[in-house]
C-alpha cells in the first residue's frame, strides 16, 4: 500500500475515445502531480496542483485535461489522444512546503499503463 | 536550464558494491532525491541529500557535492531484488514554489 492509488492500472483506447484516469491519496498531502513516463526517458512533469489550484502546466497539449476537486483526488481527462501518448502515467503527492525539519519526497502511485491504438 | 545525467544501464554481481552517479545543472537547488523503481511499479523513495556529504541508510548510501553538481548512490551487498531502475531527482525553486526534476534513471541488473 503506497498511500497513492491510481485506477485503472491498464487502459487501451482508440484515438477518438474519451477516458479519465483517477488518482487518490490517503497521506494528507496538499500537492498532487501528474507525470508521463516513456521508455528510456525521464519522468516528465505534466501538471502540479497545490491546495486544489493548478500551479504548473508544463506545456501539455490540450487533449490532456486535469481536474482536482479536492486535495485528495486528481483526475486526468483524455480526449483525442495520439499514438505517441502511449506511456505510463504516474500520479504523485507531497506536502509543500515540507513540514519544518523534514524532507518530503513525493509518494507515487503504481501508474496507469496507457496504450493508444 | 535543467539537466540531470545518469548512466542508462549498469550490471553488477550479487554481493558486490555498485555506485550510480548523477550530475545535474540547475538553479535554486533545494535537495536531491534517489528513488528506486521496479518494473511496473511505483518509484519509491530511497534517500535525500541537501547538504554536502554522505547519508547512510543500511545497505544504501548517498553522497552530494553541491559545488560539483554531483551525487552518487552506493549500494552494498547487492541482492537480486536490487535489480531495478534508480532515479536521481533534483528539487529546485520555481515560480510559485518548488518542483522536482527527474533524470532518465539507471537500470541496474544484478547477476548471480
Say if residue B110's pLDDT is above 80: yes
Contact B99 A4 (CB under 8 A): no
Measured in angstroms, the CA of B9 and the nearest CA of chain A are apart by 10
Say if residue B17's pLDDT is above 80: yes
**Cα angle: A77, vertex B43, B25; to 5 degrees:** 95
Contact B98 A97 (CB under 8 A): yes
pLDDT digits (tens, 9 = 90+) for B21-79: 999 998 889 899 999 999 888 999 999 999 999 999 999 999 999 999 999 999 999 99
Which residues of chain A have a CB within 8 Å of the CB of B41?
A: 110
Say if residue B96's pLDDT is above 90: no
Measured in angstroms, the CA of A111 and the nearest CA of chain B are apart by 7
Strands B44-49 and B29-37: antiparallel
| pLDDT band at B104; cut points 50, 70, 90 | very high
Residue in chain B closest to A4 (alpha carbons) equals B42
* Residues B53, B72 contacting (CB under 8 angstroms): no
* A103–chain B Cβ distance below 8 A for any pair: yes
**Cα angle: A35, vertex A40, A41; to 5 degrees:** 40
* Per-position pLDDT tens, chain A of length 117: 559 999 999 999 998 889 999 999 999 998 999 999 998 788 899 998 887 777 777 789 999 999 999 989 999 999 999 999 999 999 999 988 776 666 778 999 999 999 998
**Cα angle: A26, vertex A31, A33; to 5 degrees:** 95
The per-residue pLDDT of chain B, averaged, comes to 93
Measured in angstroms, the CA of A16 and the nearest CA of chain B are apart by 27
Tell me the torsion sign for CA atoms A48, A90, A99, B88: negative
Residue A84 three-state SS: helix
Q: Rg of chain B's alpha carbons, rounded to an integer?
A: 14
| pLDDT band at B1; cut points 50, 70, 90 | very low
Amino acid at each position: 500500500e503506497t498511500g497513492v492509488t491510481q485506477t485503472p492500472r491498464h487502459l487501451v483506447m482508440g484515438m477518438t475515445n474519451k477516458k479519465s484516469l483517477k488518482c487518490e491519496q490517503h497521506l494528507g498531502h496538499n500537492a498532487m502531480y501528474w507525470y508521463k513516463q516513456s521508455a528510456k526517458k525521464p519522468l516528465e512533469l505534466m501538471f502540479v496542483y497545490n491546495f486544489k489550484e493548478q500551479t504548473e502546466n508544463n506545456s501539455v497539449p490540450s487533449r490532456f485535461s486535469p481536474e482536482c476537486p479536492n486535495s485528495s483526488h486528481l483526475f486526468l481527462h483524455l480526449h483525442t489522444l495520439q499514438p505517441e501518448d502511449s506511456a505510463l502515467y504516474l500520479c504523485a503527492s507531497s506536502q509543500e512546503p515540507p513540514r519544518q525539519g523534514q524532507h518530503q519526497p513525493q509518494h507515487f502511485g503504481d501508474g496507469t499503463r496507457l496504450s493508444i491504438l | 536550464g535543467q539537466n540531470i545525467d545518469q548512466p542508462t544501464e549498469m550490471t553488477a554481481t550479487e554481493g558486490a558494491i555498485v555506485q550510480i552517479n548523477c550530475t545535474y545543472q540547475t538553479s535554486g537547488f533545494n535537495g536531491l532525491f534517489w528513488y528506486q523503481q521496479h518494473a511496473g511499479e511505483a518509484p519509491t523513495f530511497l534517500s535525500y541529500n541537501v547538504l554536502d556529504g554522505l547519508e547512510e541508510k543500511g545497505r544504501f548510501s548517498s553522497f552530494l557535492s553541491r559545488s560539483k553538481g554531483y551525487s552518487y548512490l552506493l549500494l552494498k551487498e547487492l541482492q537480486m531484488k536490487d535489480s531495478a531502475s534508480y532515479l536521481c531527482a533534483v528539487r529546485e525553486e520555481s515560480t510559485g514554489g518548488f518542483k522536482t526534476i527527474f533524470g532518465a534513471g539507471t537500470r541496474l541488473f544484478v547477476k548471480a
